Amino acid sequence: MATSTLENDPLQFSNEDLLQTARCEDLLYEQIQQVSVLGEFERGVIDALKGSGANLLEGARGVGKSMLLRMAEIELDDDFQRERKLGVYVNFKTSTLLEGVKADERDAFQIWVNIKILEALHEKLLALNLIARTGAADPYQRVFGVSSVLETKAMLEEKIHLLQKLAFSKGGQEKIINEIGAEFLAKAQDTSFLVNIIKEVAELFSLNKILFFFDEAAHTFIPSQQNIFFEIFKLLHGGKVACKAAVYPTVTNYGRNFEVGQDAIVLSVVRFDPGESGRRENRLHFRSILDKRIPKTGNLRKKIFARGAELDLCIDLSNGNPRALLHILNSAISGNSSLSERSVNLAVQNYVDQALLPYHTSLNKRLPKYASHIRVGLDLLRGFLIPEIRAKNHRKTKSEYQSAFFTLQRDMSPNLKLSLDILSYSGMVSQLGTVKIKGGTGPRYLVNLALMAAEKAFDTPKTSDAIARLSLTDYREFSSSDVQIKTYLDSLLANDDICSTCSAPLPQNAKFCSECGQKIVVTSIVSALLEESVDELSISGRLIDRIRPKFATVGSVVQAKRNELMTIPYIKDVRSRIIKNAADEFISG
């Protein structure tokens, strides 16, 4: 019989070797402290997160927002006896499951968010020994009428599970709703009920502050959910409660009643500066990250750190994104490969082909309404913008500068702006400030350097040489009225949606066909994602091969409990966590 020992399972990596653990949620509490590197930039962000103000931690995928939230929580835990500030981390990564789900005519998402907050708060009270396992001083017992702390914990977990079960249940929803209970649903939907419990907790335990660190609630692409979340955020914040939330730039929908800058201050997680001093600082920071993740003894450390120039190239091409660096570096040293300029170039091409481009194109499943913007934005970038930058780079100049930048007028068309916003979200481009251009000012965009290298957009195949000659002041200026850009944008005006019965064009959000009267059946975002093959998950091919016979779709992995995954040979605690997190991330974006 197969066993799970390290010796006879070549897929299992040591807990001390964290080089392959790219997601923060794959790390244990103690490991987060172990691998975190806090430079001056990170220190400033964490100090702000531990403050009394409402904050939006804004950054693209993989830049380290979750790590910053968790480190703020951990530091508050360490100082709790002295400061009496309670840090509560709440992850809402499976919120997409609740899209359009009703619980006895109530919005299941709002109920689910409120319960998740109560569950996380209860867990933290237990972790800091503020409530005893016997149930002494547990305010939840009076509210929910349970007899023990463990019963409270089990009850909240079960209610969350039942709410998520509604998303998978085609029939029998009434039975599930009865199990949740009408009285519980009425209480849990009321955010003022939630606020009152939190106030009671603050008074009972003499807390100076309760700080909530919300992760991934605002990452869903469902505007109605984002609106509800920010209403809850706004109602919770104030007095002894401070709210912080991780958000994506450009694509987060705050709703009509939430004003960024007024209701919460943005903390931007943009640490990448492609200039010489910025690159030097970035290399030091990322080397420190790797130093903490690689075992102190063994060949791996020598294999990586002995090749300084090649390691610097990996770091530069990651665009300040830790997850991208780990992807590129792991690919470059896979098998028996040594870290060389050739292996790095191949790894970068692999990253672009297997991660960067597929993620952007997959957004049409999460944002079907904007599928044309996703497609046209990428076509515009690869078909016109990058070739124009490439042509600029090949022109001989005295300065010999290289560029990876472009600008457009601030008053660009809404369609062009949305296409660029989606490119920014997916990591294809990054907005780096505002610059003077002909006729005023405009945003400056940096094309992902890995994409620039893969598209051979520099004047030399030696990418490190081209990056050393990058200049922030050397950019290709485009006009939004450019004929070529207009040609791409005109294709957005072509209506992609047609009636399945009579093939007549359908306007956005149509409920019936105006020609034949056929009712338009709309497939929910999450339903389509759950039906995707498990092959789409961001885990190794060998792990996919192990789980596919029993869990063929993303939905089957999402529904599975970790102990079910652990019945598969060689899938134990570490891997079951990685697989579940990959599935949750797939549906949450």
> Which tens digit of pLDDT belongs to each residue from 45-98?
999 999 999 999 998 888 899 999 999 999 999 999 999 999 999 998 888 788
- Domain-wise residue ranges, the chain: 50-268, 276-358, 368-493, 531-588
pLDDT value for 349: 96
pLDDT value for 221: 62
pLDDT value for 17: 64
Cβ neighbours for 518, distance < 8 A, ≥ 6 positions apart: 499, 500, 501, 502, 512
Task: Dump pLDDT digits (tens) for 477-491.
Answer: 998 888 999 888 888
pLDDT value for 423: 94
Q: Do β-strands 209-215 and 85-91 pair in parallel, antiparallel, or remain unpaired? A: parallel
Q: Which amino acid is present at 140?
A: Y
CATH superfamily of the domain spanning 531-588: 5' to 3' exonuclease, C-terminal subdomain (1.10.150.20)
- Model confidence at 352, pLDDT cuts 50, 70, 90, reads very high
Its pTM stands at: 0.84
Neighbours of 344 (CB within 10 A): 27
276 token code pair? 């010489």
Q: SS3 of 436, please?
A: strand
The residue length of the chain stands at 589
d(CA 194, CA 161): 19
Angle at alpha carbon of residue 310, lines to 382 and 337, rounded to 5°: 95
pLDDT value for 502: 66
In order, the DSSP letters of 78-123 are HTHHHH-EEEEEEE-TTGGGGTT-EETTEEHHHHHHHHHHHHHHHH
d(CA 364, CA 307): 40
pLDDT value for 65: 93
> Dihedral, CA atoms, 225, 227, 231, 234, nearest 10 degrees?
110
Q: Which CATH class is domain 50-268?
A: alpha beta
d(CA 261, CA 254): 12
d(CA 457, CA 439): 28
Pair 303, 340: CB distance under 8 Å: no
Question: Rounded mean pLDDT of 157-184?
Answer: 84
